[in-house]
């Protein structure tokens, strides 16, 4: 589960404002990419894109239910004041070590 927060309109020319998409048939387009190494590199198949409806419906509170599960923990990812430069694409290397994946013992090199 990933939960993210940001202003609807950041005022940054590099960001698109999040607008009321409740009257659209497809919602708001999104893209995402991730990796499992501390190095910034091409994401290959670790990517997602699609559409999300961000307005108009009250979503179920799945996170609250998930947090009641024994063994589930959370971490706050805090913006470290990275200034996005005036370029079409910008990347920043930032790694947060959360330990071994669930079900894998510390020191297991699977």
**Is pLDDT at 51 greater than 70 in this prediction?**
yes
**Is pLDDT at 108 greater than 60 in this prediction?**
no
What pLDDT, on a 0 to 100 scale, did the predictor assign at position 52?
A: 81
Write the secondary structure of the chain as one string of H (helix), E (strand) and C (coil). CCCCCCCCCCCCCCCCCCCCCCCCCCCEEEEEECCCCCCCCCCCCCEEEEEECCCCCCCCCHHHHHHCCCCCCCCCCCCCCCCCCCCCCCCCCCCCCCCCCCCCCCCCCC
Quote the pTM value: 0.41
pLDDT in tens, 57-105: 666 677 788 888 888 877 776 666 777 777 677 777 766 666 666 665 6
């Amino acid at each position: 589960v990933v939960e993210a927060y940001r202003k609807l309109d950041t005022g940054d020319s590099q960001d698109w404002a999040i607008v009321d998409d409740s009257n659209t048939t497809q919602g708001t387009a999104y893209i995402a990419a991730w990796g499992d190494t501390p190095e910034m590199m091409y994401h290959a198949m670790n990517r997602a894109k699609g559409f999300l409806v961000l307005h108009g419906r009250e979503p179920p509170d799945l996170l609250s239910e998930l947090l009641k599960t024994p063994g589930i923990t959370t971490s706050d990812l805090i913006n470290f004041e990275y200034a996005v430069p005036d370029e079409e694409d910008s990347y920043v290397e930032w790694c947060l070590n959360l330990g071994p994946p669930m079900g894998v013992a510390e020191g297991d090199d699977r």
